Structure 1
Amino acid sequence: MGTRRNMFFSYKNDPAKQKDIENLMSIAKDQGFEIVTNQEEANIIVAVGGDGAFLQAVRRSGFRDDCLYVGVTDEEEASLYCDFNLHNTEEMIEAVHTAGVSVRRYPVIDVHLDGHTHFHCLNELSVRSSIIKTFVIDVFIDELHFETFRGDGIVVATPTGSTAYNRSLNGAVVDPRISCMQISEIASLNNNQFRTLGSSFILGDSRKLTLQIVQDGNDYPIIGLDNEALSIQNIKNIEVEMSGKIIKTVKLKDNSFWHKVQRTFL
């Protein structure tokens, strides 16, 4: 962990797990870490609760690229962002003392809505119809009008997000060492008027994706940012690019992204 010693714990208040979390904090203090109550003072942010809690911690702390994030799951199920288990503190201590941890770097996408509202996503951006009716999106790659989509929605995933919603849409699982975004369709309608590629496609880190929502009466899509829904309505223009930001997480050396994919899906 080097000189990083200010540690902030992000977790949902749950009386059933409070004792385990307090025990983890006590262990961290014994190992020379200082527990802070303001996340802005921290250079290590520990998210307890699984992948959802990890995504929330990253979002609430502002997608900081000047600190380390540590994912700690409180369940036995597999997790793609969490390398440690709340009930296995011995493994954490051993990893710290034996240099059994390393840093994993995850790319982030930037999302601009109508040219003025700006968000980051670590997992995915999803644009979905809010009513039982398809909607139309003109899809641009850089300045090229690539296709006109009609269907239930579009998902733009980071490499780590490629294992989530994207994968359920038959998208590819992408190595997080590749800085890129993957675009997948949700129930596209293909006919003589509307024609799409019909498969997921991947854009490199210098590309810009623009989604222009055609105003045809279905003008209020649901915008999902990782595991949060956005309340902004009547959005017309969505621009997505790789942000250049990198989220650094602590991982066990023998637990790569592909180890996790294998364990989760195979």
Structure 2
Amino acid sequence: MDNRRNMYFYARKDDQTKEQISTLSDLAERYGFTIVRDSSAANIIVSVGGDGAFLQAVRKTGFRQDCLYAGVSTSGRRSLYCDFHIDDLSSMIEAMTKEKIEVRRFPTIQVSVDNEASFLCLNEFSIRSGIIKTFVMDVYIDELHFEAFRGDGMIISTPTGSTAYNKSVGGAVVDPMLSCMQVSELASLNNNRFRTLGSSFILSEERKLRLEITQDGNDYPVMGLDNEALGVSHVKTVDLMMSDQVVKTVKLKDNSFWEKVKRSFL
């Protein structure tokens, strides 16, 4: 960590959070870190809040490849993306200064809409019907027409995103050491015309997924990138694949992904 000394804090602007960041800043400066007000000047970006704040910090700072991200939880416990807690700030500084940390690399998904706009996801991409009507899509894996989907929508998650929305609809929890994406259905309709797999499936980093949306009045779907809505009208195709960009995060050696899963769900 000797060459990473410029620290930027991402958080809400309410009075309580400002006070917490002030305490964090004072502690960091005592240990030789420099607090910067522009994220582009930072090589350590710290989110203060919860997993939502962490996802926003990564997105709003452009999925930086040349810096580390760290999450500080302000809720009752550490969370999936937050290895540190606001009530135990000294452990974060001690870990950084005494090299007790490891760098974890989380895979991301690249999303392209109509071969024009391109986005990255750390957690998940979701697409749902924008009206009170079932959603019709043709699903392609590479060049293979895999299925004709009719239902409420789909979730395409990263391994870290597999514990969120994906898990709530019966998807599997996936080890983030695997670079892959998981596809989970939302209330699919199966009959003689529409037939889907009916279960989540996992695609390797070599695969490409394409969703072709039937233009039947539902061409303004509700799409989500992590915890942010994406407003695009007249959507015809969505292409997804694993990105070569990763999110490098600060990880305590005694706080693996599976320890977090156990703490959260068992």
Using structure 2 for the length normalisation, give the TM-score.
Answer: 0.98
What is the Cα deviation at residue 16 of structure 1?
A: 1.8
**Counterpart residue type for residue 243 of structure 2:** S
Task: Provide the secondary structure at the position in 1 that maps to 2:152.
Answer: strand
What is the Cα deviation at residue 130 of structure 1?
A: 1.4
Pairing 1:103-252 to 2, within 5 Å after superposition: 103-252=103-252
For structure 1, the residue ranges without an aligned partner over 5 or more in a row are none
CA distance in 1, matches of 2:116, 2:93: 45
What is the Cα deviation at residue 88 of structure 1?
A: 1.2
CA contact (8 A) 1:10 1:57 kept: yes
**Counterpart residue type for residue 200 of structure 1:** S
**Counterpart residue type for residue 213 of structure 1:** I
CA distance in 1, matches of 2:115, 2:130: 22
For structure 2, the residue ranges without an aligned partner over 5 or more in a row are none
Alignment deviations for residues 64-120 of structure 1 (CA, whole Å, 9 cap, x no partner): 111100101111134100000112112223323442211111000000000010100
**Counterpart residue type for residue 88 of structure 1:** D
Using structure 1 for the length normalisation, give the TM-score.
Answer: 0.98
CA distance in 1, matches of 2:113, 2:207: 17
Task: Provide the secondary structure at the position in 2 that maps to 1:188.
Answer: coil
**Counterpart residue type for residue 69 of structure 2:** Y
Runs of 4+ aligned structure 1 residues displaced above 3 Å come to none
CA contact (8 A) 1:20 1:87 kept: no
**Counterpart residue type for residue 107 of structure 1:** P
**1:102 aligns to 2:123 (yes or no):** no
CA contact (8 A) 2:78 2:85 kept: no
Moved more, 53-62 or 12-21: 12-21
Q: 1:180 to 1:250 in 2, by over 3 A?
A: same
| RMSD between aligned residues | 1.0
Aligned to 2:83: 83
CA contact (8 A) 1:123 1:157 kept: yes
**1:254 aligns to 2:249 (yes or no):** no
What is the Cα deviation at residue 234 of structure 1?
A: 1.5
CA distance in 1, matches of 2:68, 2:94: 19
Count how many residue pairs are aligned between Structure 1 and Structure 2.
266
CA distance in 1, matches of 2:229, 2:177: 27
What is the Cα deviation at residue 132 of structure 1?
A: 1.5
CA distance in 1, matches of 2:25, 2:124: 31
Alignment deviations for residues 110-169 of structure 1 (CA, whole Å, 9 cap, x no partner): 000000101000000000011111010000000000000000000000000000000011
CA distance in 2, matches of 1:5, 1:16: 25
CA contact (8 A) 1:78 1:264 kept: no
How much identity, in percent, do the aligned residues show? 61
CA distance in 2, matches of 1:88, 1:78: 11
CA distance in 2, matches of 1:216, 1:62: 35
What is the Cα deviation at residue 53 of structure 1?
A: 0.3
Aligned to 2:65: 65
